[in-house]
Amino acid sequence: MNYKRINDSINPLDKEIMQKASEKWDNIAKPVGSLGELEKMLIKISGMQNQIVPDLSNRCVVVSCSDNGITRQGVAMTPSEVSALMTDYISQYKSSVGAMAKTNNCDVFTYDCGLFRHIVSPDIFDCHIASGTNDMTLGPAMTRDQAEKMIQNGIDLIGDLKEEEYDIVATGEMGIGNTSTSSAVASVLLGLDVEQTTGRGVGLSDEGYQNKINAIKKAIMINAPDPADPIDVLSKVGGYDIAHMVGLYLGGAIHQMPVIIDGVISAVSALLAYRLCPKAVYYMLPSHLSPEPSCGLALREMGLRPVIDAGMRLGEGTGAVCLLPLLDTSLAVYKNTITYKDLGF
């Protein structure tokens, strides 16, 4: 895949539209800039959609689900079987993200990108590429071709969603062990020690946390991923869920679709997309700051500022979906509030 060509083809945000949107905000009868990052985010979306008043009516969350071979090293407290079980519940709107999505008029699309137990269900979209990644402490997690195939799946999906007239897409994931893969990717891309990029995931003990760090260090040492080659990093120490989300961010940029970043796994996927195609960041929207250290590190590297800091670490796209009501209420102010002109100024 020619990522330079993709990057060159990405349209910049419409600065004229953004200027007009900014002027409209400044004319609303309230202190200028008083909705802070939410104003900036809606102005950015105006530039993405090439319209002064953004349209967020049709929205969905894409949940990329896969398993990770590194779980065989005991890096997670939760057994890998939970990935497939939760994927099934997510597809039926019975998980946390389903409840949140219903409340926010948001469709949920669930994708099996590489679960250990392949699920055949009318509610789950099949882009199953393998039954989990390989144990990256023993060798590469996947082949380069597998990584690029999954990225292409994500790109194509955004194209399909654009044709179905969705206005905005939230990202999410499900896969036991993926805080280990995302920490490994972040460590290599950012040139930081594993200890700086790795959190405890779901409540690891001190002993479990040290085991996780040792496993990630071993994976990086054995595979020697090249930080200057994002696909090499992804294929050697990443996951299929991460690869799929990389494609979602690239697809968003290609098709001028706003794509919301969720937590740490989503943020690291966004960082990979950014390293492949720097212009892709134009179409990314940060949602929340996960306590996992790689989340903030990845967002800062891309110059993105999350608007929610609530200590959330659930996954599934829950943080990304939480951004939607904030955008909705801000858009209501933007569209319906009296202006200084109405007040006679």
pLDDT at 62: 98
Which range (60-69, 220-229, 278-287, 334-343) has the least confidence? 334-343
- 202: pLDDT strictly greater than 90: no
Alpha carbons 323 and 289: distance in angstroms, whole number: 12
- Which pLDDT value is given to residue 180? 98
Name the H helices within 192-239: 194-197, 206-223, 230-237
The pLDDT tens digits of the residues spanning 69-80 come to: 999 999 999 999
List helix spans (H) across 50-177.
81-91, 96-103, 144-163
Residue 81 is among the residues annotated as catalytic for this protein = no
| pLDDT in the model for residue 314 | 95
Summary mean pLDDT of the chain: 97
User: Is the distance from CB of 260 to CB of 168 less than 8 angstroms?
Assistant: yes
For the cut 90, the answer to whether the pLDDT of residue 204 exceeds it is: no
- CB of 263 closer than 8 Å to CB of 290: yes
**Is it the case that residue 203 has pLDDT exceeding 80?**
no
Q: What span, in angstroms and rounded, lies between the C-alpha atoms of 282 and 289?
A: 19
**In this model, does residue 60 exceed pLDDT 90?**
yes
- Catalytic residue, chosen from 39, 173, 292, 316, is 316
Tell me the residue type at 328. D
pLDDT 10s digits, 146-199: 999 999 999 999 999 999 999 999 999 999 999 999 999 999 999 999 999 999
What are the structural domain ranges in the chain?
A: 59-326
Average pLDDT of the segment spanning 259-269: 98
Which residues neighbour 257 within 8 Å (Cβ) at sequence distance 6 or greater?
48, 158, 161, 162, 166, 167, 168, 169, 251, 283
Find tokens 């202006």 and name the residue: 339
Q: What is the pLDDT of residue 109?
A: 98
* Dihedral of the alpha carbons of 14, 18, 21, 25, in degrees to the nearest 10: 170
CATH number of 59-326: 3.40.50.10210
The single-letter DSSP state of residue 12 is P
